[in-house]
Structures are given as structure tokens and as C-alpha cells.
Amino acid sequence: MTRTALLIEHDAFTRPALVGEALERRGYRIVRRLVVPEHRFHSPDVEHDFPDPRAWDLIVPMGAPWSVDDHATIGTWIHHELDMLATAHAEGIPVLGICFGGQALSVALGGGVRRAGQWEIGWGQIDTDDPALVGAGPWFQFHKDAMVLPPGAVEIARNRVCPQAWTAGRSLAVQFHPELTLEVLDLWLANGAAPVLRAEGLDVQDVRRATAATVDEARSRTVSLVEAFLERIAR
């Protein structure tokens, strides 16, 4: 029987990319669900009905350019997503939360989200207690918010800015972007990310070149992460 993974794409410029590839390699059928369509990117307070998580074998809430707790901007759909993630976790449905998705999972399970105090952008190493599950990287970061771990969660990776990964039950949350490819980065750059990089003193072309140069290694790291998640956490 084919297993199905629901990938929640909060904005129209998110792509499963390397994470989707790794899941398909393990035999998962990928179903992509878009929350905020492209024409509402700058007014993301849409109405969205999230499905019953018990209909899926795996749920992957992905990144977004907004803050989980910015209800004035994103509206009510985040409350429905938090309810879905809490139900999934309680019912033993594996969840792999990525960046915004990891922050949402933190909130859904009784933790929170906070401002990290600075933008964290680009490729960097992390400190990991379990390199066989979450490797040291380098991983790509693009966030200004940070996860506040829920009760009972175990932090397994961090850097000087904030927690980078935690586990609880069959759930894993990561702050970085294991899915990233140059194609995904270019979508972000074309839709609001480039001015953020420049404001932080980063050269856009330098970041693009670094991303292009690490594509094979990034794919290998992401495959290892997904494989270990499926074998050790989701199981």
C-alpha cells in the first residue's frame, strides 16, 4: 500500500524540492496543499480548511515569510493549522515541521515562537547532539523568528541564534531549510527576499553561488535527514 505525505505549502513560492525528492525515494506519494495563493501573497489572511490529519501517513508543514503569531497579517487559517498539527501529534501521525512549519508545530504542542533578535540568512553549521539524525550541515537558514520548545520536547540541535531542531514523540521540527535548491531560492529572491539580503549586508549573487556550489552535498544531507526521521522518529 502506497504511503501518502501531505506537504503544506503556506505560500505559492514554496516547493518540496529536496525534501519531496527524498520522500518519493522512500515510496511516498506527495500531495501538495497550498494555503495562500500567489495573488494573495501580500494579503495572506485567506480562509483555508485544513484536512483531517488522520487521512495521511505523514504531514510536512513547510516554511513561510510570515510569523506564526502575527494573526493580524495571516488571519484565522493559522488557528486551523495549529489544531490540525496538535491532532496529528496526539494521534501518532508523524510530522516533520520545517522553519515556519517547525514554529507552528512548537506552538501547536504548547510551546511558542519568539523573535530571534536578528535575521539568520545563508548557509551555516549547527551544533547537534544527534548527528545521525540531524547533521551539522551546513544548512540554509532564512528566518527572524525562533522556536520555543513545547513541554516534553528534546532539543537536539542549536546554534548561537536559537534552537535548530527538536523531537517529541513521532514529530521532528527543524529551523533550517533542508528542501532548498537554487530554483527555490530564486523564487524567494524574486518575491521579496532579495531586499532583505541586501539590508543585512549580504550579496545576493554570493548567496546564489554558494547554493549552486553545494547542491549535491545538500541533497545528500537532506536524504540522510529524511531517512533518519522516517526510520527513527516517524516509525
| Sign of the Cα pseudo-torsion (130, 108, 124, 223, in order) | positive
Which tens digit of pLDDT belongs to each residue from 201-216? 999 999 999 999 998 9
Please report where in the chains the cell 516534553 appears, as a residue: 152
Task: Please state, for a pLDDT cut of 90, what percent of the chain lies above it.
Answer: 97
36 contacts 12 by C-beta, under 8 angstroms? yes
Give the residue numbers spanning the domain of 220.
Answer: 3-234
104 contacts 85 by C-beta, under 8 angstroms? yes
**Rounded distance, CA 180 to CA 106, Å?**
22
pLDDT value at 1 more than 80: no
Mean pLDDT (the chain) is: 96
Q: How many CB atoms lie within 10 A of CB 121?
A: 18
Side-chain half-sphere CA neighbours of 34 within 13 A? 12
Which tens digit of pLDDT belongs to each residue from 29-50? 999 999 999 999 999 999 999 9
Q: Which of 57, 64, 48, 144 is nearest to 101 (CA)?
A: 64
pLDDT value at 222 more than 80: yes
**pTM as predicted:** 0.96
Q: Domain of 141: which CATH number?
A: 3.40.50.880
Q: Which of 90, 231, 95 is nearest to 166 (CA)?
A: 95
- How many domains does the chain fold into? 1
* For range 41-70, the mean pLDDT: 96
Q: How many CB atoms lie within 10 A of CB 15?
A: 18
Widest CA span in the chain: 50
Q: Which of 201, 120, 226, 110 is nearest to 164 (CA)?
A: 120
Specify whether the backbone of 81 is left (phi greater than 0), alpha (psi in -120 to 50) or beta. alpha
Q: What is the pLDDT of residue 117?
A: 84
The band of 152, judged by pLDDT with boundaries at 50, 70 and 90, is very high
